[in-house]
Structure formats: structure tokens, C-alpha cells
A and B are shown apart, each in its own frame.
Chain A
Amino acid sequence: MRRAKCVWSAGSILVLVCVYAVAAGTVAAPDSGKTARTVGTVRVTAKTMDISDRQWVLSGGRPTAQTSDGALFVEADRIVVYLDRQAKDRAGFVSKVSATGNVNVRSTTPDGQPVRVTARAATYNGQDSTVTFEGDVVVTLASPDLEEPGVMRAGRVTYYMNAGPDDTRFRVEGDPAEVRATPKARPAEGKGQGK
């Protein structure tokens, strides 16, 4: 049995949660309006591109792919962009993006907080607007509620790009999985009141 650690913030209370075996942790989205976020136009760079009707294969020279709104930037050894020519709209045109080898992802949450992820592989799925990271995943997530950016380490992390305020934003799975976040100190309830 392995041990996974989760350091969590819940209001002003710091909670240490220890779970055993394979950890499957989730991080809720902060209080923000739900925004539909899907990959539309993608700007790509690479040394070599092999283009067909259904996919663009990018290789050589550390290929990159970036959404037009800048919400997602991917750099890896190899990137494949899968297309759905039958898509009803622009949002569904890029159906999948697969990145492998030294994957480096930069994103922003709907409320504008930066997210950085490194992993061995990453897959964006246009159907449900998720990005799944696999292999030595390290997620660094900044939040105004945290003293410093939180760090998650796991074997597999799913990032829900469309997560609303009450939805799960990250699903963290690992053996072990580790989530570290230090909340900002807040005045205790009642303190300073009534003066």
C-alpha cells in the first residue's frame, strides 16, 4: 500500500488528508462564472508538418500548438491535431489534440488563473473539453486564495476546461498522488467584528 498526501484548503481551515492506495483526488473550480471553452482555430509551429484531411502531424523542432484565444498552449516532441470535417461549428472542428514527449502545457482557468503542466503525454478531447495528462504529471496552479501556486504530482491528471464554479476542475490519480496548496491566511470569523 502506498500513501498519497493531500494538503487542502477549506475556507480558513487547513486540512491534511491522507489517503491510501491509488489516490483519486479532485480539485473544485473556484467561484467563477461558467464559460464554454473549446478549441477553435489553432496556430501551430513545427519543423515538419504532414497534413491530410483528418489530421496534422507536427514533428521536429519542438512543435507547438496554441488556441486562438490563448487559453491553451502546448509544446511537445510530437503533436497530432485531429480534425472533424463534419463539425457543425468552428468549436468542434478540432476534435482532438495529442501531444507526446516532454509535454509542456500552459493554460488559464476561466477566471484567468495561470496553469502550467508538464507530463509525458497529453490529450485534448474536444467532445468534453478535457485535457488528460499522463506520466509524471506536475500541475502548477495559481490562485488568489493560495499563498503560492499549488502543485499537484500524479500519474494521471484530467483537466476539465469547462468546469464551472461547482464543478470538478482537476481529477488527480496517482500511486501516489500528491497535492500541495498553502492557503492565504484569513482573519478568523468573528475577529474584528463589533468594534
Chain B
Amino acid sequence: MLCAVVLVAASGGCGKRRAAQEPSPPAKERPALGVTIKRSETVQEDERGRPMWRILAEQTELDQAAARATVRRGEVEVFGEKGRRLMLSFGGLTANAESRRLHAWGGVTAKSDEARAWFRAETVTVDLKTDRVVAAGNVRGSNPVGSFQADRLETDMNLDRIRLSGSDKVTAVIGLPEKLQENKR
């Protein structure tokens, strides 16, 4: 059983700060919390109280008034506009609430149930400010119309439009018959 510690944390500039266990420090001082949480669930809200992401992790270190979290081995559910969600599993993750940016590394798998797409990469960066998702390093994945392999992938939270690029050639196979058969049913 996970010992779930729910933190709703945000920086002074981008959201409500509601630390679960300690009173919030003054925004001016911004001391490092130095809090390490084992097996935790952390929900980050924006200034309107909407969730930006939810992190399930083996170990979470909070810093800078809980605006930045460094996470080891876990999953993060990222909430985009229009209700789209992206699930990342990772070896390591830095989540910065001020910049609304997540950077995952250590063998990252990204999956979107709504888009019926997934990809793996060495690193994945999600920027909620610009609605950009960038995956780099040995990218492999598929969406409902094909599978691909590239050095770099750029997309948005909807995964509707994907740009693949590579120092060498990008390879892909368009058309997955089993998926089409599923669609027919």
C-alpha cells in the first residue's frame, strides 16, 4: 500500500499554496523546504485551482517553497487544456510549478488514452505554458495510424500533430490493419 501524501503546492506566482503539513513560508524568502517524501502523491494546481499534474512517486524532494519537485521513479499524469491527459512513467522527473514545466528522464514512456498514442524516449519535456511536448533520444511509438522511430518528437498535449525528426532518417510504418479492424467493430 502506498502511503499517500497529498500535497497541493504551487509557487507564489502561479497558484494557491496549500501545504498539507506545514504552513506556507513567506513568498519573499522562498526558503528551500528540503522535504523528502517517500511513496507520495503530489497534486500541483494552477492559480485557478485546476490541477496541472499529479505525481505518484517512490521518492519526492520538494524545494523552493514546493514550487519545484525532484522525483525518483514514478508516474505523472499531466492535465492539458480541453481535458486531454498525458501519462508519463519515468526514472527521474523535475516538476517546476513556476514555469509550468516537467522534465522527465531515465527511460520515459508517454501515453495518451484519448489520442490512443504512446511513445518512449530517453527524455520528455512538457511545457504547459506553450502546450508543447518534446521527446528526445531513441524515440519509438505509435498512434492509431502508424508506428515510428526517430531521434526527436515534438507535439502538443493533444498529440494531434506530431513532428518527427532525426539526425539520420526517421522511419515509420503507416497503416496498422489490426487497429483498423478494431475501428470497424
Contact = CB atoms under 8 A, between A and B. Distances in A.
Interface stretch (A41-49, A99-107, A146-154): A41-49
A40 B177 contact: yes
B175 A93 contact: yes
Interface of A: 40-53, 56, 60-61, 81, 83, 85, 87-90, 93-94
A90 B170 contact: no
B contact residues, range: 20 to 34
A48 B152 CA distance: 10
B169 A47 contact: yes
A42 B180 contact: no
Contact of A51 (B146, B175, B177, B183): B146
B143 interface: yes
B171 A93 contact: no
Contacts of B164: 48-51
Interface of B: 143-146, 148, 150, 160-166, 169-177, 180, 183-184
Contacts of B144: 85
A53 B174 CA distance: 11
Nearest to A62: B169
Given A45-B170, A46-B169, A48-B164, A87 B180 contact: yes
Chain B at the A interface: SS class:
strand
A175 B171 CA distance: 39
A49 B171 CA distance: 9
17 contacts: A43-B172, A44-B172, A45-B172, A50-B162, A51-B146, A51-B148, A51-B164, A51-B172, A52-B160, A52-B161, A53-B145, A53-B160, A56-B146, A61-B169, A87-B180, A93-B145, A94-B174
B175 A56 contact: no
B172 A85 contact: no
A89 B180 CA distance: 7
Given A46-B170, A49-B170, A85-B145, A41 B177 contact: yes
A45 B169 CA distance: 6
Contacts of B170: 45-49
A69 to B, nearest CB: 12
A40 B162 CA distance: 22
Contacts of A47: 165-166, 169-170
Contacts of A88: 184
B163 A42 contact: no
B145 A41 contact: no
Nearest to B117: A51
A51 B173 contact: no
